[in-house]
Structure 1
Amino acid sequence: MRLSKRYIMKNKRLYPYLYCFFALFILLDAPAARSQNEAYAKGVFITQQHDSMPYRLLAPQSLKSGKKYPLVLFLHGAGERGSDNESQLRNGGTVFTNPVAREQYPCFVLFPQLGVKDYWSLAKRPAQGYKGANPLPKEVPITKHLQTVKALLDKVIAENPVDESRIYIIGISMGAIATYDMVYRFPDRFAAAVAICGATNIARMQELGGKTAFRLYHGDIDDVIPVRYSREAYEALHRKGRKVEYIEVYGAGHNAWHPAFNRPDFLSWLFKQKR
């Protein structure tokens, strides 16, 4: 099905120059990013089954008595896996810690980190990758990693002044696959979901419960997770009457999170959503 032009990011000729700018900005601003990421407190969550998961947690700069705040759960991609409790902030950490965002959108932000050989939603990476038939099954038990994420999320909510009508989930790449998975399994938990360069089993989107709002991003030349996955997810959600927006980034490969994070309305759209 052909998508309406309004769902495709404009300024096609400008995009390659913008991407070079984003890449240069990231390199030049690395020290500032490290400084901003220090605002995230470090922790290690241990389950009753003795599984552990490192995480970083950002809190509002000041907590007002009686006020509750939104919470964002951010699921990183495969390149940020590890045990250093640092790498998961590489893509997305400064979105919430830059001074403007801290002032305009006080919130809690949770960045768990997955082990270097693990996958959020799958036992292992599909042998054929994502370029052939959709390798994501509709019915499969939740992984222990997402069980741990859900338990950690519940703990953070219970221990902090969180507005439970404004809990959001963002994922990139492997984390975007897990974003769809979490919303499918816990349809009444999230007010909004942002999936960037992700994929899902379309039957799940056709049967999805709850009222989570979606915004999907994908690069049109993604050679890791093809763009058709986000197009199909958008169409399935749109046909179901869900609140969904799809932004396809012309000229972007498997890195559409850079232009996505730099959109002026990235955070404003997110924090407008309420369950």
Structure 2
Amino acid sequence: MKRLFLISLFLICFFSRMVSAQQRHEKLIIESNYLLYLPEGYQQDSLKKFPLVLFLHGSGERGNDLEKVKINGLPKLVEAGRKFPFILVSPQAHAGEGWESKDLMRLMRSLQKKYRIDEDRLYLTGLSMGGFGSWDMAIKYPGLFAAVIPVCGGGDSSKVWLMRNTPTWAFHGAKDDAVPLKASQEMVEALRHHNPAVKFTVYPDAGHDSWTAAYNTDSLYTWMLSQKKFKYSQITVAKEDLERYQGYYVNSLKNDTIKVDAGSGVLIGTMGNHRLEIKPYQEHKFFIKENEPVDIVFSGKKRKQQFVVNNERQDVYKLIKK
């Protein structure tokens, strides 16, 4: 089975085609060991769905002994008797390996089938190596998590704009000599340009153990559990206001031309034989599907008008004629 994913302003869809060849059926099994904590009431109420928190440990807890995962963070608190109102899943990375987002995604899909999980309240957190893993997975799967809490982590700040709609609270110790404070600062500063509400807590006297204070912050759980998966919501915009965006736009490679027209409360984008409604969620910002992490942002005036399609990358389309 080959799968093509064609992403443009007008073709946000999945399709597949069968490939004929002499092939045989095989099976790949990815082993993922994890600690599971089920909240009170899970076994008693067979209909209720619960939030899920995916916790990623640090490098010192890797291996094949799940007891090591209880050394730090949320599993440590559970082992000490703390009760949480969410399902907690704490996988263990193999010895010598880091967190692979694609493997964690396979685990997530399995968990969603196996347990009664509230799909709108999936949360991700991790410390040190797990902090890096949290940033990475949130970037690679934007729109999956309702909130992300990276503790003394870091990552690729050039791609953090993909988390523009993901509530994020980062933690770090100012005296951390294993993962410098700058690693979190760069991520937060880059994200703040796209998500001004990002939260960042720095513990002035903490070294490479800021997770101790972070996971003992009661307000963290209150904040986290109040977040739900982001969905775009259409607003009402008068047709005459939409008409300012009408025209023909071409991308930077000059191989895609898009015609934009004003419809009834929406913009209509046309490329070839394909037409798509583009719905406003702010005066100059638009979306295609409420639960797809894709949006279109217009800027500029008159002949210098353009829009950016924010998807897996950012594509700029400039006005060429009205």
With normalisation by structure 2, the TM-score equals 0.59
CA contact (8 A) 2:146 2:167 kept: yes
- Which amino acid in 2 is paired with 1:161? R
1:242 deviation in Å? 4.5
Corresponding position of 2:69: 88
- 1:73 corresponds to 2:27: no
Corresponding position of 1:55: 34
State the 4+ residue runs in structure 1 displaced beyond 6 angstroms. Answer: none
- Partner of 2:201, secondary structure, is strand
Using CA pairs under 8 Å that are at least 6 residues apart, name the structure with larger relative contact order, 1 or 2. Answer: 1
Spell out the pairing of 1:216-255 with structure 2 (5 A cutoff).
216-255=170-209
CA contact (8 A) 1:188 1:210 kept: no
In structure 2, the CA distance between the partners of 1:153 and 1:271, relative to structure 1 (3 Å rule), is same
Choose which of 258, 269, 274 in structure 1 pairs with 2:212: 258
Cα deviation digits, residues 54-110 of structure 1 (max 9, x gap): 1111112222232110000000000111101221121121435665x52xx421111
Spell out the pairing of 1:150-169 with structure 2 (5 A cutoff).
150-169=105-124
- 1:109 corresponds to 2:91: no
In the alignment, the residues of structure 2 paired with residue 183 and residue 69 of structure 1 have an alpha-carbon distance, to the nearest angstrom, of 21
CA contact (8 A) 2:163 2:191 kept: no
Spell out the pairing of 1:2-151 with structure 2 (5 A cutoff).
48-63=27-42, 64-92=45-73, 93-96=75-78, 102=83, 105-120=84-99, 145-151=100-106
In the alignment, the residues of structure 1 paired with residue 177 and residue 208 of structure 2 have an alpha-carbon distance, to the nearest angstrom, of 7
Percent identity between the two aligned chains: 32
In the alignment, the residues of structure 1 paired with residue 102 and residue 187 of structure 2 have an alpha-carbon distance, to the nearest angstrom, of 24
- Partner of 2:171, secondary structure, is strand
- Partner of 1:52, secondary structure, is coil
Corresponding position of 1:126: none
Spell out the pairing of 1:176-255 with structure 2 (5 A cutoff).
176-205=131-160, 207-209=161-163, 211-255=165-209
In the alignment, the residues of structure 2 paired with residue 209 and residue 230 of structure 1 have an alpha-carbon distance, to the nearest angstrom, of 15
Corresponding position of 2:223: 269
- Partner of 2:168, secondary structure, is strand
- Which amino acid in 2 is paired with 1:71? L
CA contact (8 A) 1:238 1:244 kept: yes
CA contact (8 A) 2:101 2:140 kept: no
CA contact (8 A) 1:171 1:195 kept: yes
- Partner of 2:33, secondary structure, is strand
Q: Which has the larger share of helix?
A: 1
Cα deviation digits, residues 116-159 of structure 1 (max 9, x gap): 21111xxxxxxxxxxxxxxxxxxxxxxxx432221111111112
In the alignment, the residues of structure 1 paired with residue 127 and residue 224 of structure 2 have an alpha-carbon distance, to the nearest angstrom, of 15
With normalisation by structure 1, the TM-score equals 0.68
Q: Which runs of 5+ in 2 are unaligned?
A: 1-26, 230-322
In the alignment, the residues of structure 1 paired with residue 170 and residue 218 of structure 2 have an alpha-carbon distance, to the nearest angstrom, of 16
Cα deviation digits, residues 217-250 of structure 1 (max 9, x gap): 0000111111011112111111113431000001
Q: Which runs of 5+ in 1 are unaligned?
A: 1-47, 121-144
- Partner of 1:216, secondary structure, is strand
In the alignment, the residues of structure 2 paired with residue 98 and residue 67 of structure 1 have an alpha-carbon distance, to the nearest angstrom, of 26
CA contact (8 A) 2:147 2:168 kept: yes
